[in-house]
Structure 1
Amino acid sequence: MRKPIRKLSALLLTGVLAAVSLSACGGNDGETGGKKAQTGSGSGKKTEILFWSPFSGSDGPFMKKLVDKYNSSQDAYKVNFVIQPNGEYYKQLDVALSTGKERPDLMIMHVDSVPTYQSKDQLQPVDELASQAGINPADFAEAPIKYSTIDGKLYSLPLDIHPVLMYYNKDLFEKAGITAPPTNRAEFEAAAEKLTDKSKGVYGYVVPTLWPQQFIFPSLVWQNGGELWNGTDVAYNSPEAVEMVEWMRGLIEKGISPSNVQQDGENTLFLQGKNAIQFNGPWMKSQYDEAGLNYGVAVMPQIGKAKQAIYAGSHGFVVPKAVTDSAKLAGIGDFLKYVAGNSLDWAESGQAVASKKVLDSAEFKAMPFQSTVSQSFEHVQFAPNVLNWGTVIEPVWGELSNALLGKKTAQQAMDDAVAKSRQAMK
């Protein structure tokens, strides 16, 4: 159960920390929703449901496919799927929820945004909706269910979990005589040194100075026994956190990584076969497939000294509090029941879905990439349970970049980040 959340005053509502691209699909096994009945009015007219998502990348067609299949599977409901631009999604959502103008009946929300919108009294619990549709929260991965349970009530039904992963260039690994991906710091450092050939402009691990540090840095801090939030205050200037910043800077100083990596520079080099290892999310799969890379994927190694921990995001379905029409709520439940059992196409996009039924299926287990993604589930952690966390932690990314570029020491950069975060919380 989630305890009451610490409220931060004088903060503007912000969007989600990381904008990521995902995908979706559908099918029907005869057990997951879909009705051939008329609506409650008996008029024969389908109940329409407006469904918003931020899937404006290559993921959009997959979710559209799932929605289209659902709409074809029954004649009681019609889900109208609308894609809002990912970068503007929460701004558009804020306007719709506050004004009621073109407000969605159902929407995708990142799990770490649920506490903020719940605290603004804009979401309704989905417990009753799920119960009436025959959806059991125990049939989903535990982490997002636990995170979205606030004061004993569930506010989101998860679609997927997307943890940071380790991608590696199989050709470079073979050339270096490395037969398996590293699983800990010692193996990682040894592999990265072996894989580096500066005479050819090839690096073992290119340290990103910006995105996707939003996934990498928290993972390293948690792995090393540190915290981003200690229960009352930001804590990313702790010895455990600073050590991980110094570790990344050390890779640059050793020449394992180039020294001035610009935005997406590590990914560009990976695509060019000049970066042997990259930490990134499942959403990169389609890009690497299209590029024809001979790559492998593995669980992110445990670099820190304390435990395995992997930062993750998650997409879930939420319902605005203002939706009270019983026919719409029944239709939403029917659609979500369908999605829970028919998301293999979503998985085929590279995502590991949250539905245990799909995770346990032979079809999913036969997907090597997705199965690897799901191996991280027992170790995933989400953003701290703090309202407007995106605003609170925002100073870290600029200061972390300063440290990785050698403009500040790791301690000074993290001290400055903490000071700026505390100022933002006033």
Structure 2
Amino acid sequence: MKRLKWLHFALAACLVLALTACGSGKSDSQSQTQDNNQTGSSNSSKPSDTSAPKGKTELVFWSPFSGPDGPFMKKIVDAYNEQSDSYQVKFQIQPNGDYYKLLDNAFGTKKNMPDLMIMHLDAIPTYAGKDLLQPMDDLAAKAGIKKEDYVEAAVNYATIDGKWWGIPLDIHPLIMYYNKDLFAEAGIEHPPTNREEFLEAAKKLTDPSKGQWGYAVPTLWPQQFIFPSLIYQQGADLVDAEGNPNLNSPEAVDALAFLKSLIFEHKVSPENVAQDGEVKLFLQGKNAIQFNGPWMKDQWDKAGINYGVAPVPVFFDQPGVFGGSHTFVVPKEQTDAAKLEGIGDFLKYVAGHSLDWAESGQAVASKQVLASPEFQQLTQQQTEVAKEFDYVHFAPPIPDWGSIVGELWTQVNLTLLGKAEPQKALDEAQKKALQAAEAKKQ
């Protein structure tokens, strides 16, 4: 299985993953983040505790969970601290939009460096390539943490040159949300599973006179998840066998042409959808289908939408979705044996107690939790998300991949606005990507 996942980065002036989305654009080294998983943004950096009790070794833990998912991780940290006699985790939430800037500053100045941190999976090749992280193999072995304890896709991606650089917390692939009330009104009994069912449903659900659409096609974020998913469904990739950009392949052209056809041929989407326009329509009950990430759950719940969750339909030849993952990493500078032992102890605890994280809407990467009755009894979202783990792809494991393909999102946007044709747009994206890749070799 190809391992792919895009660095969340912004498109032109917009991307920030709209927290999750909706993140914001980041530096080259940053993952697409947004944290695409945080829609709200408290931007709180309040630690779980101000100092470690006497006799406990303090472990500073950074995360970008400044949205509604932050309290779920804090609950895990607090529970760990309560039961641990030896270690105290100081949980610090950094503003999602500035997370990698703060991290880069810490790496550069060697000041205020955390002992443990969350990193997006697709950022690992960049930071490991710059020799800023330490392999997790020894730490994991001493703590009794095994690769086979986690979903293979995330483990394989984080294993570079035979070394394991990040222990996964979750996997968040593209999923399909749908408005159950609109489906019922249209007489549609189940969510679509393939292209034919999708088009039939979207047309039934579209009524321009009411301002209602079957599927409002986003022209910006989260196309970073949607467009590559359609390429993977054709058994293709965004890179060739040598790891070079392959953005104008026949499969990529077909994927973009299909998205454009939904707007201008099938007319199941309004034209000129602005950033987050499809989200606003879904919240208003005017967009029946929404492709996005698990991080949207909190927003839908607060809005009181009667929604369902299902795997992304197979639009082409085989299942395939783009996804992301939050992973635990340790900076190379951390060499304190007591702290490394404590980090291992904490991560071992998280592996068995990440059900609280799953309750945020995420599907966790721990096989122990995934197999538990408690996880299986969670709301439909988590179990539906986990169904996609067998065919999830991550961004190409290439350092600074986000900066190499920046032009791609500009060209996708222009195409979906009706200002460019798929082939010419992707030819331009490919030309700029090859230039950027070559420049990085010099």
Task: Return the TM-score normalized by structure 1.
Answer: 0.91
Q: Is the counterpart of residue 354 in structure 1 residue 365 in structure 2?
A: yes
* Residues 108, 317 of structure 1: 8 Å contact kept: yes
Q: Extract structure 1 runs of 4+ deviating beyond 2 A.
A: 20-23
**Structure 2 residue 395 is the aligned partner of structure 1 residue 380:** no
Q: Equivalent of 1:174, from 184, 188, 208?
A: 184
Paired residues of 1:21 and 1:55 also in contact (CA < 8 A): no
Alignment of 1:415 onto 2:423? no
The Cα offsets for residues 107-128 of structure 1, whole Å up to 9 and x where unpaired, read as: 0001111111111111111111
Quick one: distance in 1 between partners of 2:168 and 2:148? 11
Listed one character per residue, the Cα deviations across residues 157-186 of structure 1 (whole Å, up to 9, x for unaligned) are 100000000000001111111111111111
Find the counterpart in structure 1 of residue 135 from structure 2: 125
Aligned to 1:58: 68
Shift of 1:20: 2.9
The answer on 1:204 being equivalent to 2:214 is yes
Q: Which runs of 5+ in 1 are unaligned?
A: 4-11, 24-38
**Which residue identity is paired with 1:352?**
A
Distance 1:107 1:322 in 2: 13
CA distance in 2: counterparts of 1:387 and 1:173, whole angstroms: 43
**Are residue 159 (structure 1) and residue 174 (structure 2) matched?**
no
AA at the equivalent of 2:372: S
Structure 1 residue 13 displacement after superposition: 4.0
Q: Provide closer, same or farther for how the CA distance between residues 407 and 390 of structure 1 changes in structure 2, counting only shifts above 3 A.
A: same
Q: 1:338 aligns with which of 337, 349, 368?
A: 349
> The residue matched to 1:414 in structure 2 has which SS?
helix
Give ranges in structure 2 of 5+ residues lacking alignment: 4-26, 39-51
The match for 2:418 is 406
Q: Distance in 2 between matches of 1:99 and 1:169?
A: 49
Question: Using the alignment, how far apart are the partners of 1:100 and 1:22 within structure 2?
Answer: 28
8 Å contact from structure 1 (residues 270, 278) kept in 2: yes
What amino acid does structure 1 have at the position aligned with 2:158?
S
Letter in 2 for 1:356: K
1:14-413 alignment runs, 5 A limit? 14-22=29-37, 45-230=55-240, 231-253=242-264, 254-304=266-316, 306-367=317-378, 368-413=380-425
Q: Could you tell me how far 1:22 is from its partner in structure 2?
A: 4.0
For residue 287 of structure 2, what is the amino acid of its counterpart? N
The answer as to whether partners of 2:35 and 2:97 remain within 8 angstroms in 1 is no
Query: Deviation at 1:205?
Result: 0.5
Structure 1: how far apart are the matches of 2:184 and 2:89? 48
Measured after TM superposition, the shift of residue 140 of structure 1 is: 0.5
Partner amino acid, structure 2, of 1:68: D
TM superposition shift of 1:134: 1.2
Distance, in Å, in 2 between the alignment partners of 1:202 and 1:13 is: 38
2:405 match: secondary structure: helix
C-alpha spacing 1:44/1:198, structure 2 compared with 1 (3 Å): closer
Equivalenced residue count is 399
Rounded to whole Å, the distance in 2 between the matches of 1:363 and 1:61 is: 20
Rounded to whole Å, the distance in 2 between the matches of 1:19 and 1:218 is 18
Secondary structure of the structure 1 residue equivalent to 2:280: helix
Q: Give the C-alpha shift of residue 309 in structure 1.
A: 0.8
- In the TM superposition, what is the alpha-carbon distance from 1:244 to its structure 2 partner? 1.2
Q: Offset of 1:355 from its aligned partner?
A: 0.4
Distance 1:232 1:155 in 2: 20
Greater relative contact order, per chain length (Cα 8 Å cut-off, separation 6+): 1
Name the amino acid aligned to 2:377. Answer: A
Give the whole-Å Cα distance in 2 for the aligned partners of 1:302 and 1:236.
Answer: 21
Q: Secondary structure at the match of 2:404?
A: helix
> Which moved further from structure 2: 227-236 or 132-141?
227-236
Contact 2:2–2:393 (CA under 8 A) maintained in structure 1: no
- Residues 320-364 of structure 1 show CA distances to partners (whole Å, capped at 9, x for unaligned) of 111110100010001001100001111111000000010000010
Structure 2 CA distance for aligned equivalents of residues 124 and 233 of structure 1: 27
Counterpart of 1:36? none
Letter in 2 for 1:198: P
Q: Distance in 1 between matches of 2:261 and 2:433?
A: 26
Q: C-alpha displacement at 1:421, in angstroms?
A: 1.5
The Cα of 1:311 is off from its aligned counterpart by 0.4
Between the aligned partners of 1:164 and 1:19, the Cα distance in structure 2 is: 14
Q: Is the contact between residue 175 and residue 294 of structure 2 (CA under 8 Å) also seen in structure 1?
A: yes
CA shift digits 1:186-244 (9 cap, x unpaired): 11111111111111111100000000001001101111233211134211211111111
Aligned-pair RMSD on alpha carbons? 1.8
Task: Supply the distance in 2 between the matched residues of 1:210 and 1:353 (Cα, whole angstroms).
Answer: 27
TM-score computed with the length of structure 2 as normaliser:
0.88
- When residues 2 and 150 of structure 1 are mapped into structure 2, their CA distance, relative to the original with a 3 A threshold, is farther
CA contact (8 A) 2:29 2:126 kept: no
Displacement after TM superposition at 1:313 (Å)? 0.1
Which range moves more in the overlay, 415-424 or 260-269?
Answer: 415-424
CA distance in 2 between counterparts of 1:251 and 1:289 reads 28
* Residues 13 and 255 of structure 1: CA distance in aligned 2, closer, same or farther (over 3 Å): closer
The letter for the 2-side match of 1:121 is D
Percent identity for Structure 1 against Structure 2:
57
Structure 2: distance between partners of 1:396 and 1:171: 36
Q: Distance in 1 between matches of 2:54 and 2:33?
A: 43
Q: Distance in 1 between matches of 2:397 and 2:343?
A: 27
Whether the 8 Å CA contact 1:111–1:316 is kept in 2: the answer is yes
Partners of 1:382 and 1:126 lie apart in 2 by 20
Distance, in Å, in 1 between the alignment partners of 2:370 and 2:89 is 25
